[in-house]
Structure 1
Amino acid sequence: MLEFSMFDRLPLRSQTDTLNKDGIILGQRIYNGWTVTLYSLHNVFVERWTGQHAEVISTFKTDANKVAILEPYLSYIQVEELLDQLK
């Protein structure tokens, strides 16, 4: 398992590979033409912003307000499916 502090230092391609392998997709939304996917990775929230010509991965500080992070995704999150994944 990759330590989360190391994740921030990885190149974009390695971060993408890590999210695909170890991340749990919590929700997805569209914002200004970007597809934004929220992941849980080792108990930390990570967003992947995918646009027509670019991709950006951003992390949240551990003390960030969890409700504020989840709020834009609430109408997209399938709670029952998420609970099944976490079992």
Structure 2
Amino acid sequence: MNVSLPEPMREFVQQRIESGQYASVSDYVRDLIRRDQGIVEDEARWLAELDASIAQGLAELDAGGGEDLHTVCAEIRAEIGLLGPKTVTQ
């Protein structure tokens, strides 16, 4: 596999090698790929957990659990109304 890079990128990679952070260009590229794989795997795991959470919430609603959004909003509005206008004390 061959990869072409513009000169500024080539210089950057070479600096990383010369600093001792990487043994070679291949080592640098492998590290970048590993990091990208980790990001992709983390995103996939997060999305799977989100999907599971949504499915669980929907199942609870179907089973008669949870609270109706309109009811919750009405309760919040009532609580806010009970608080009255805020006053600033000095």
Normalised by the length of structure 2, the TM-score is 0.21
More helix by share: 2
Using CA pairs under 8 Å that are at least 6 residues apart, name the structure with larger relative contact order, 1 or 2: 1
More strand by share: 1
- Whichever of the two has the greater Rg, that structure is 2
Normalised by the length of structure 1, the TM-score is 0.21
